[in-house]
Amino acid sequence: MTDKNFFRDIFAKAQKTAGHCAGIEIFADKTADTTIVWSDKKLEDFYISESQGVGIKIIKNGKVGSAYTNNFNEQSTDDLISSALKNSEFLQQDEYVSLAIPSKMPARPELDICDDSFGKEPLEKRIALIKKMEDIALANNKIRNVVRAVYSESLGETHIMNSNDLELSVRGTVFSYGISCVASDGKEIQIGSESKVTRIFKEIDFESVTNEAVKNSVDLLGAKKVKTGSYSAVFNQNVACEFLALLDSSFSAYSVQKNVSLLKEKLNEKVCSDKLDIIDDGTLSSGVATSSFDDEGTPTQQTVLVEKGVLKNYLYDLYTANKDNVKSTGNSSRSYSGISRPAPTNIYIQKGNFSFNELLKSIAGGGLLITETMGMHNADAVSGEFSVGVNGFFVENGVKKFPIHGVTIAGNILDLFGSVVDVGNDLKFYGNTGSPSLLVNRLSVAGE
């Protein structure tokens, strides 16, 4: 990141230009990324990228103007300030705009995780590691090829300062690895995948992730369809996370205020099964989205969104909180070129008391274990409606009898979460979204 004095100079110049009565906020961020893509025994792509920029917000006479630039020179920063002031002239007064106030809470630097190994290893060594993972996958005689293996590492830096005497900086790293394998028994092919995202490089067990992807593909060989009907089903953690991700934007107060949330006007009402507790926690130890403060400088916190099926809270930044006359929950998310919107940090379903095997045994008669979805990107987050293809297994008396594919499940996300009857104790995160396995008692299935 550019020397902090550079941003202080911009702030001082903006204050002099706009006047000491104006509210001023400087937000700067920088990201550095390295990504390696391996496919079918060869390096398909790799790239190293960097981006940085600074944005300014000036509040004068109740009007707010914003501007940003990628160029860190005197002329560009002069233009940045004048552009923000000119932009404010065309806008109406906005009583809900405000700037963060320095927190009285003690700083929590342990939340801001930066792995110093970032960028230290030669690219060739990372490529050799991915090739080794392909060799491990191909050691299974039913694996025909690795469709795609992707490794990435990123470093992000943020600096915020405003006219309320707030000044904060943070650095953080994220490392990820994912692999997809093709299995075949000579009659059919199946694809299985697995991934891991973490703040610390050494926390990725590359071999374990690879072996899980191999198992996910091989175990699906010999898949059949099941008859159309309504089934009890267990969703594994990955699938449960995908459905939680379909709902997470509805917790944003911005979505609620814009009337594009399923949860509008449902505060303190039952919205899903009383077995479910859903939490957003920006302070979660080692969480991918954990930070000591959000993108406005408000301290992060743990927010209970759903407690025993009842909607307890929305997620707020300063603007949406002012509109609802509440406090920000520390969920501002933005870039230097954008405006703040409240968004989840580490969002997850709280773990329950049942093991995965106990959930399978709880399926009455014949049911399903759902391990993969296809087409979730087509689900509608505004209406909550979904119709997606799934893979998994037919389960009888707690035992996986045979794999299934060519099956579609459909419904509404609130109805789905309303039908959860038991929750596993196997909480797992995929990125910033986490869930244990879930048992649902009614699932509409289209098969044969």
Which tens digits make up the pLDDT trace of 278-310? 999 999 998 999 999 999 999 999 999 999 999
DSSP state at residue 272? S
Mean pLDDT of the region 312-320: 98
CA proximity to 250, closest of 318, 347, 351: 347
Domains 4-31+49-107 and 110-154+169-218 in one fold: yes
**Does domain 110-154+169-218 correspond to CATH entry 3.30.2290.10?**
yes
Look at residue 109 in the predicted model and tell me its pLDDT: 86
Q: Quick one: CATH architecture of 4-31+49-107?
A: 2-Layer Sandwich (3.30)
Q: How confident is the model at residue 162 (pLDDT cuts 50, 70, 90)?
A: very high
Hey, how many other C-beta atoms are within 10 angstroms of the C-beta on 202? 9
Contacts of 354 (CB under 8 A, 6+ apart): 362, 422, 423, 424, 425, 439
Q: How confident is the model at residue 102 (pLDDT cuts 50, 70, 90)?
A: very high
CA–CA dist 406, 421 (Å, integer): 26
CA angle 318, 323, 329 (to 5 degrees): 35
CA–CA dist 58, 366 (Å, integer): 62
Q: What is the token pair recorded at 232?
A: 């009890």
pLDDT at 329 over 90: yes
Which tens digits make up the pLDDT trace of 116-144? 999 999 999 999 999 999 999 999 999 99
Percent of the chain with pLDDT over 90: 90
Which tens digits make up the pLDDT trace of 403-420? 999 899 999 999 999 999
Q: How confident is the model at residue 107 (pLDDT cuts 50, 70, 90)?
A: confident
pLDDT at 74 over 90: no
- Sign of the CA dihedral 133, 135, 136, 140? positive
pLDDT at 364 over 80: no
Which tens digits make up the pLDDT trace of 220-236? 999 999 999 999 999 99
Look at residue 350 in the predicted model and tell me its pLDDT: 98
- Parse the chain into domains and list their residue ranges: 4-31+49-107, 110-154+169-218, 223-448
Mean pLDDT of the region 380-389: 96
Mean pLDDT of the region 46-74: 93
User: Does pTM surpass 0.75?
Assistant: yes
pLDDT at 35 over 90: yes
Which tens digits make up the pLDDT trace of 237-278? 999 999 999 999 999 999 999 999 999 999 999 999 999 999
Q: What is the token pair recorded at 68?
A: 């940003």
pLDDT at 104 over 90: no
CA proximity to 146, closest of 177, 103, 187: 177
Look at residue 72 in the predicted model and tell me its pLDDT: 87
Summary mean pLDDT of the chain: 95
CA proximity to 234, closest of 406, 126, 130, 355: 355
pLDDT at 2 over 70: no
Look at residue 1 in the predicted model and tell me its pLDDT: 61
User: Are 381 and 246 spatial neighbours (Cβ–Cβ below 8 Å)?
Assistant: yes
